[in-house]
Amino acid sequence: MRGWTAEEMMAVEAARRLHDRTVCFVGIGLPSLAANLARRTHAPGCVLVYESGAIEAKPEALPLSIGDGELAETAVAVVSVPEMFAYWLQGGRIDVGFLGAAQIDRHGNLNSTVIGPYERPAVRLPGGGGAPEVALAARDVFVTLRHSRQAFVERLDFTTSLGERVRVVVTDLGVLEPAGGELTLVATHPGVGVGEVREATGWDLRVADDVRETTPPSAAELAALRALRTRAAA
């Protein structure tokens, strides 16, 4: 029996892709978990930038929102939201932007706006927020979301963010990277087969010739991850 959850595997795999001094535009939830895990393990110099304007924040506990006071208290500087987008993001100073979504297509385009027709949606989602700007201005975009046919669709109900800068998609089943303009399965998590990933994808998924298995979370990674979550729960 494995000693970690699917969400923990996702966070660990995403964190491993962040390096020391990477300037990372962080969102709340799994992106914040992954970025703070990287900072507490192999990449202590990873620079966390939050949409609220906190630059190089070093929270001791996971922030509950981008307005969490600890972000400002632990940041090197706090700037206005317009300055954050105009000078930092659109100025080309962000190495990695994390995004999530309700839907993704084979080209990495994302939908976080509506499910169903825009005029009469079955579900109205939170919307783009800063995601369209992150998708276009960050040097690389990392996407994290759970893998299902409802999320990995042949055609988006609405295109919120373009996928041209998506470099990796980390899911609860494996890892996809673009090849020839199309997302390609390059790794599966322990215990997950290629067929399972294909079955959970709404298009004919391209698979790399040498699909690898991701390395399970180490004891140190899990301890750091769970400590972050414990402090957040407290």
pLDDT tens digits in sequence order for the chain, 234 residues long: 478 999 999 999 999 999 999 999 988 888 889 999 999 999 999 999 998 889 999 988 888 887 788 888 999 999 998 998 998 999 999 999 999 899 999 999 999 999 999 999 999 998 888 899 999 999 999 999 999 999 999 999 999 999 999 999 999 999 999 999 999 999 999 999 999 999 999 999 999 999 999 999 999 999 999 998 755 554
Q: Where are the alpha helices (DSSP H) in 19-168?
A: 30-40, 69-74, 81-83, 131-137
Q: Output the pLDDT for position 127.
A: 87
Residue 11 identity: A
Q: Please list, residue by residue across 72-102, b when 16 or more beta carbons sit within 10 angstroms of its beta carbon and e when fewer do.
A: eeebeebbeeeebbeebbeeebbbbbbbbbb
Please enumerate in sequence order all residues whose Cβ is within 8 A of that of 135, keeping only pairs 6 or more positions apart, or say none: 97, 99, 110, 141, 161, 162, 163, 164, 165, 166
Among 18, 88, 17, 19, smallest CA distance to 51 is for: 88
Residue 233's pLDDT is 52
Among candidate residues 8, 51, 133, 221, the one labeled active-site is 51
Beta strands (DSSP E) in 65-181 are 77-78, 96-99, 103-104, 110-111, 114-115, 123-124, 140-144, 166-170, 174-179
Nearest of 46, 59, 54 to residue 14 by alpha carbon: 46
**Angle subtended at Cα 135 by Cα 176 and Cα 53, rounded to the nearest 5 degrees:** 120
How many Å separate Cα 101 from the centre of its chain?
9
Q: Residues 6 or more apart from 188 whose CB is under 8 A from it?
A: 173, 174, 175, 194, 196, 197, 211, 212, 213, 214
51 annotated active-site: yes
Q: What angle do CA 38, 44, 46 make, to 5 degrees?
A: 70
Question: Which residues face 184 on adjacent strands?
Answer: 177, 206
How long a stretch of residues is the chain?
Answer: 234
A 10 A CB-CB count for 209 gives: 6
